[in-house]
């Protein structure tokens, strides 16, 4: 994260991705901690993007969130993070609907811009 703040994007991404590979050695990132390692990784990538506005961090965070959804489809934070960072309005709406369905109090969901009223009411009761 310090490298990101110093503008060393390539080096910081190398370390960020190394941390992601390390998660695979920790029983798929599911370890008894107060904050699960996958969430910590996602939060780090998001914070790096938020602080630097470098697209590489947004892309990495989105890639991780989508991969995490494949393994753990009922964890709301990955959809909320996707909704927070996605630029395509249709994909963003789907992700935010899923996050709201699973956890209306998700932190990443609270950071995302609210869907317009019509999009919010268009969320299906079962968004899959």
| 5-58 confidence digits (pLDDT tens) | 999 999 999 999 999 888 877 655 455 678 888 999 999 999 999 999 999 999
Calpha distance 30→37 (Å, rounded):
7
Where are any strands of DSSP class E within the chain? none
For the record, the structure tokens of 91 come out as 């994909």
Instruction: For residue 44, tell me if it sits in a domain.
Output: yes
Domain annotation covers residue 126: no
Q: 32 is in which domain, residue-wise?
A: 2-121
Whether residue 45 is contained in a domain is answered as: yes
63 alpha carbon, distance to own chain's centre = 8
User: Per the domain annotation, does 89 fall within a domain?
Assistant: yes
Q: How many domains does the chain have?
A: 1
CA-based radius of gyration for the chain:
15
In a domain, 40, yes or no: yes
Can you tell me the distance from the alpha carbon of 75 to that of 37, in angstroms, rounded to the nearest whole number?
13
Entry pTM: 0.86
Q: How far apart are CA 128 and CA 3, in angstroms?
A: 39
Residue 29 lies in a domain: yes
Task: Identify whether 128 is part of a domain.
Answer: no
Q: Is residue 39 part of a domain?
A: yes
Spell out the residues 6+ positions from residue 120 whose beta carbon is closer than 8 angstroms to its own.
Answer: 114
Render pLDDT for 68-119 as a digit per residue (tens, 0 to 9): 999 999 999 999 999 999 999 999 999 999 999 999 999 999 999 887 765 6
């Amino acid at each position: 994260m310090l490298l990101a703040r110093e503008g060393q994007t390539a080096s910081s991404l190398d370390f960020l991705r190394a941390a992601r590979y390390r998660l695979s050695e920790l029983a798929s990132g599911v370890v008894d901690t107060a904050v699960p390692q996958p969430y910590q990784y996602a939060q780090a990538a998001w914070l790096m993007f938020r602080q630097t506005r470098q697209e590489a961090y947004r892309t990495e965070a989105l890639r991780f969130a989508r991969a995490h959804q494949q393994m753990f489809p009922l964890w709301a934070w990955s959809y909320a993070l996707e909704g927070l960072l996605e630029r395509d309005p249709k994909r963003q709406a789907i992700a935010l609907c899923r996050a709201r369905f699973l956890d209306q109090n998700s932190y990443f969901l609270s950071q995302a811009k609210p869907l317009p009223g019509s999009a919010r009411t268009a969320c299906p009761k079962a968004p899959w």
